[in-house]
């Protein structure tokens, strides 16, 4: 598979929303028809955020404790 085929041009997609980080209000995530939730760190402040794409909101989050 050619690597050029794996690149998505985001300008061709319909953007649903831009969700701001609840901590710094500078970091953002962009939604393109996404549903559900994702937890990841803000690219700006590096704090953990729960991005809710159904409600188009972001929540402050704590890491889940790892239990064996």
Return d(Cα 36, Cα 14) in angstroms, integer: 18
Query: For the chain, how many structural domains are there in total?
Result: 1
DSSP letters for 17-33: EEEE-TTTS--EEEESS
Whether residue 3 is contained in a domain is answered as: no
Chain segment 21-59, per-residue pLDDT in tens: 999 999 898 899 999 999 999 999 999 999 999 999 999
Q: Which domain holds residue 24?
A: 13-60
Cα-Cα-Cα-Cα torsion 4, 34, 28, 12, nearest 10 degrees, comes to: 40
Whether residue 55 is contained in a domain is answered as: yes
Return d(Cα 8, Cα 20) in angstroms, integer: 23
Pairing, β 28-31 against β 37-41: unpaired
Show the tokens assigned to 48.
Answer: 């953990």
Whether residue 66 is contained in a domain is answered as: no
- Whether this model's pTM surpasses 0.95: no
């Amino acid at each position: 598979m050619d690597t050029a085929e794996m690149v998505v041009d985001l300008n061709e997609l319909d953007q649903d929303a831009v969700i701001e980080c609840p901590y710094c209000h500078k970091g953002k995530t962009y939604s393109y028809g996404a549903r559900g939730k994702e937890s990841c760190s803000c690219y700006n402040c590096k704090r953990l955020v729960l991005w809710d794409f159904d409600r188009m909101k972001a929540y402050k989050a704590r890491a889940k404790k790892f239990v064996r």
